[in-house]
Amino acid sequence: MSIKTALVTGGASGLGYEFAVLLAQDSHHLILIDIDSDKLNETKNELETKYSIQVTTLTKDLSIQNISEEIFEEIGNSPIDVLINNAGFGLFGTFAETDWSREAAMLNLHIMTTTHLTKLVLKGMIERKSGKILNMSSLAGFQPGPLMTIYYASKAYILSFSEAIANELKGTGVSVTVLCPGQTKTSFQEVVSEKASENKISFNMGCPKEVAAYGYQQMNKGKVVVVPGAINKIISQLPRVFPRNMAANIVRKIQEKNRED
């Protein structure tokens, strides 16, 4: 039985790290990509010491245009059996005032890099009639998000994109899962805002280990849209109940309150 290889973006910390641990426990060789070289090396040493696997690390800024081609040139002909598009970040503020360079980087990371990496691995997976892809969306992907406009919109793209290609891939042996967690206790909030300590939500805060384990389990079952947590499942259905303008107003009030707390 050949050992499988998994590629994880944002694999040095947070949910990406938890996915890497789960894959290592299942004896996958790993290709971990992250912008933080120090944490990447720590993770590599930890996983190779603890598990009988090989870990390849690539220090890359995944928000750079055409970075996916550069990645695939470096990994060569390594077949990718599992792809987890986990890397992402957020930005808080009104769209008229937020920094475009950060928003452009977010769009490139969430949309272009996620889409291109998925496209690059798909051909080989289809030829082998086997493969699993997990794309990281968010509870934010189900509704418009005032004060985090680009983040919500880009996560909605990932949700729609993943559902569509999952349908296209029926019968091929390749599955696509889109994980849509709510707030999860990672370093995400520190990136969202300079006043991160004023922008943290304690209510319904998910544990990264539990969120990753649930997403990983559902990916292995071939599930498509995965929302961890009973409360989050209810929240994900609210846009179907309330008019979208009301949903946008509710999100804005929540964002404003979190900013004030």
* Residues carrying an active site annotation: 151, 155
First CA to last CA distance, the chain: 54
CA distance 14 to 122: 26
Beta strands 5-9 and 29-34: pairing type? Answer: parallel
Sign of torsion, CA 196 157 182 186? negative
User: To which H or E segment does residue 128 belong?
Assistant: helix 114-128
Q: How far apart are CA 202 and CA 193, in angstroms?
A: 16
The structure tokens 């990916």 sit at: 219
